């Protein structure tokens, strides 16, 4: 393939995503602070560069997968940033989960240099990043989306255009609200069953095929009952997403009382030293209140 792709951010998600691009035959240039991750990718055939500016000078499209809005702004618009090395026609696909208004601000600044931008956050966590079946929700110009659909599909099971720039991150925030509230509801229910003397695994087996069944329930209930809180998605990251959801809700005038409640539960867990645990550890908040443990 002639398209040269830059990938900035080789973390839990970015590393497997970039490997899938190499496996799909793309020519890849990578940048990350962690030498070990960079070494893994160069061993797989990628080229490594030292600054976002250098990546922009060499690439037709750049994918960023970074922690939050400030890091994306820094990489795109900061010193030796993408904007400094960009040629007109370059496309930035930001696959980080950031504030929608930040996406719009970055896009506007890049537009002045003739650079297109898509905000394309993902859902599915590390397992789906590894097997290339992520769900990608994309905001931006439809023609730019169409041009890069095949590239995004090399990392994903589904890639859906949801509107103008910022719409991808609004969609992701909606996704994160639903996931957080689902885990909280599941935790309440399984703690209720346990405290009432009923086996929570049998409750789970009985309800999973009915209206209460969900992808979240199937992914997280077995983890809780196995006491496996190894992070597929850390509480700290979910706190970041809910903070962006609440900030956005205040800006647009939408009220999110249940999201605010779950945010406080997650904050309590972080204060308890559990910020790096999987978000299924929300069950521990309820277990502490009820003084019980949800196990098979």
- Is the pLDDT at 153 greater than 80? The verdict is yes
Instruction: Tell whether 55 and 141 lie within a shared domain.
Output: yes
Is residue 208 assigned to a domain?
yes
Q: Write out the catalytic residue numbers.
A: 172
Q: Is 48 helix (H, G, I), strand (E, B) or coil?
A: strand
- Is the pLDDT at 192 greater than 90? The verdict is yes
Tokens of 59: 């690439």
Please report the pLDDT score of residue 2 as a whole number: 72
Tokens of 140: 């931006």
- Is the pLDDT at 20 greater than 80? The verdict is yes
Is residue 271 assigned to a domain?
yes
Instruction: Choose the final residue of a domain: 141, 164, 187.
Output: 164
Q: Is 172 helix (H, G, I), strand (E, B) or coil?
A: helix
Please report the pLDDT score of residue 52 as a whole number: 98
Question: What Cα–Cα distance (Å) separates residue 105 from each residue in 57, 62, 65, 99, 161?
Answer: 22, 18, 18, 10, 20
Q: Yes or no: say if 76 and 110 are a contact pair by the CB < 8 Å rule.
A: yes
Is residue 295 assigned to a domain?
no
Secondary-structure percent of the chain, ordered helix, strand, coil, rounded to 5: 55, 15, 30
Instruction: Tell whether 155 and 175 lie within a shared domain.
Output: no
Length of the chain counted residue by residue: 296
Is residue 296 assigned to a domain?
no
Instruction: Tell whether 41 and 121 lie within a shared domain.
Output: yes
Instruction: Tell whether 113 and 143 lie within a shared domain.
Output: yes
Q: What is the pLDDT of residues 110-150, one digit of tens each?
A: 999 999 999 999 998 888 999 999 999 999 999 999 999 99
Q: Yes or no: say if 99 and 244 are a contact pair by the CB < 8 Å rule.
A: yes
Element (H, E) at 29: strand 27-31
Instruction: Tell whether 277 and 202 lie within a shared domain.
Output: yes
Distance CA 44, CA 171 (A): 33
Q: Torsion angle, CA of 8/12/16/19, rounded to 10 degrees? A: 40
Could you tell me the residue range of the domain that residue 76 belongs to? 4-164
Instruction: Tell whether 59 and 151 lie within a shared domain.
Output: yes
Q: What is the pLDDT of residues 43-59, one digit of tens each?
A: 999 999 999 999 999 99
- Domain of residue 201, CATH code: 1.10.1040.10
Q: What is the pLDDT of residues 63-82, one digit of tens each?
A: 999 999 999 999 999 999 99
Distance CA 173, CA 121 (A): 10
pLDDT band at 232 (very low <50, low <70, confident <90, very high): confident
User: Judging by DSSP bridges, how do beta strands 61-64 and 91-94 pair with one another?
Assistant: parallel
Instruction: Tell whether 147 and 224 lie within a shared domain.
Output: no
Instruction: Tell whether 100 and 229 lie within a shared domain.
Output: no
Instruction: Tell whether 69 and 147 lie within a shared domain.
Output: yes
Instruction: Tell whether 126 and 204 lie within a shared domain.
Output: no
């Amino acid at each position: 393939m002639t398209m040269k792709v830059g990938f900035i951010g080789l973390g839990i998600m970015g590393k497997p995503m970039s490997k899938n691009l190499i496996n799909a035959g793309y020519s890849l240039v990578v940048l990350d602070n962690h030498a070990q991750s960079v070494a893994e990718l160069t061993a797989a055939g990628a080229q490594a560069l030292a600054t976002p500016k250098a990546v922009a000078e060499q690439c037709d499209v750049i994918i960023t997968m970074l922690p939050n809005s400030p890091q994306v702004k820094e990489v795109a618009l900061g010193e030796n940033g993408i904007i400094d090395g960009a040629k007109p026609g370059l496309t930035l696909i930001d696959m980080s989960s950031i504030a929608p208004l930040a996406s719009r601000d970055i896009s506007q600044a890049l537009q002045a240099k003739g650079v297109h931008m898509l905000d394309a956050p993902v859902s599915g966590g590390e397992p789906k990043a590894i097997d290339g079946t992520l769900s990608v929700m994309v905001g931006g110009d439809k023609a730019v989306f169409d041009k890069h659909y095949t590239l995004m599909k090399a990392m994903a099971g589904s890639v859906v255009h949801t509107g103008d720039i910022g719409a991808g991150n609004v969609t992701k925030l909606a996704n994160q609200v639903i996931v957080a509230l689902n885990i909280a509801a599941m935790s309440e229910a399984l703690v209720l069953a346990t405290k009432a003397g009923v086996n929570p695994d049998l409750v789970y087996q009985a309800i999973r095929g009915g209206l209460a069944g969900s992808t979240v329930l199937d992914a997280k209930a077995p983890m809780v009952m196995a006491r496996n809180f190894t992070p597929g998605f850390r509480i700290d990251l979910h706190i970041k997403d809910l903070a962006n959801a609440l900030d956005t809700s205040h800006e647009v005038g939408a009220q999110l009382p249940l999201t605010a409640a779950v945010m406080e539960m997650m904050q309590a867990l972080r204060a308890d030293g559990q910020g790096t645990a999987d978000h299924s550890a929300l069950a521990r908040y309820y277990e502490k209140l009820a003084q019980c443990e949800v196990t098979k």
